[in-house]
Amino acid sequence: MGDSKANLQSQKSFVLISGTSNRPLAESIARHLGVQLCAAEIDRFPNGETRVEILESVRGKDVYVVQSTCPPVNDNIMELLLIIDALRRSSASTITAVVPYFGYSKQDKKKTGREPISAKVVADLLAVVGVQRLVTMDLHVPQIEGFFNIPVDNLSPLNLIADYIRKKGMNDLVIVAPDAGGVKRARNLANLLDARLAIIDKYRKHFKEADAMNVVGKVKDLNAVIIDDFIDTGSSIVEAVKALRNHEVKSIIVACTHPIHTEPATQRLKESDCDEIIVTDTIQLGAGKMFDRIKVLSVDDMLARTIAHIHNREPVAYLFHQHK
């Protein structure tokens, strides 16, 4: 890894604690930082309510809570809220929520007259319970940062993905946005890889389904990389792959930050005509959702370096830059 351990100037006031949604990632972050995870009991009462008990003193310490709010989303959000409340009531000095995947981020605006803005509700819950800073990764839309009145560090995995693709030695690359909303993300990756840019013109008939209608930009005889923030049911990605195959691309790599993979996503991806699927470990993929074409890249180093810089009161801005 990088220099996270060397830069963690003091462990005396530092505490790293993990929820249950992605403990392997939290353990890996702890190894990078050279610390042990704080002991805690997190389980369920017989009636299904979440039970949290912190087993170590956190009085006067800076605490970092690692918890992705992935499915089961509501359970993981409630667990995060109760961990934070327990820390606040235990006199923690500061509480930073490290949420690699931020649930409800897709519900960032009203699409009809009588809908909640659910991402704002979650932001309010975190602020009310006592979070003083949020570290997250690849929010569905950047304006979600504005839902918070606390500092938000929205990290990008594009350098990680670009490095992996670069090492494959591929030429004639075109980076493809699966819809108009993903153009900026695709352009940033295209700039990193000196690649062309194309866009899928998508029409969504229903919130559960999507049809890819057309491809804007040259893709014929090129190696295509479809980049998105997450794969949920997989319908959009599968349609994008079909559209690109109809335009005679040489190969197709699908890349995303958050592998939600709500069923039947696994079967759809297995049956899709793509050559490889790149994901990160912001969400832990169970054995039943893994297959040979999936490559998992870890964000542990990036999150560890971010935590170290925050704890040392050092700038984190350089972590946001997407260098070639």
Catalytically active residues, by annotation = 202
What would the two tokens of residue 281 be?
A: 């470990």
Helix, strand, or coil (residue 304): helix
Distance CA(41)–CA(160), nearest Å, equals 34
Look-up of token digits 């984190």? 316
Length of the chain: 324
Q: Is-contact 193 287, C-beta < 8 A?
A: no
| Nearest partner of 140 among 229, 52, 50, judged by Cα | 229
Q: Report whether the peptide linkage leading into residue 116 is cis, meaning its omega lies within 30 degrees of zero.
A: no
Measured CA to CA, the distance from residue 44 to residue 207 in angstroms comes to 33
In 3D, which of 10, 27, 31 has the Cα closest to residue 19? 27
Helix (H) or strand (E) holding 134: strand 133-137
In sequence order, what are the residues at sequence separation of 6 or more whose Cβ sits closer than 8 angstroms to the Cβ of residue 38? 15, 16, 17, 54, 55, 56, 58, 63
Q: What is the CA radius of gyration of the chain?
A: 20
Measured in degrees and rounded to the nearest 5, phi and psi for residue 217 equal 120, 160
Tokens standing for residue 254: 């699908």
Alpha-helical segments (H) within 23-157: 23-33, 73-89, 118-129
Q: List the structure tokens of 178.
A: 């699966």
Strands 94-99 and 173-177: unpaired
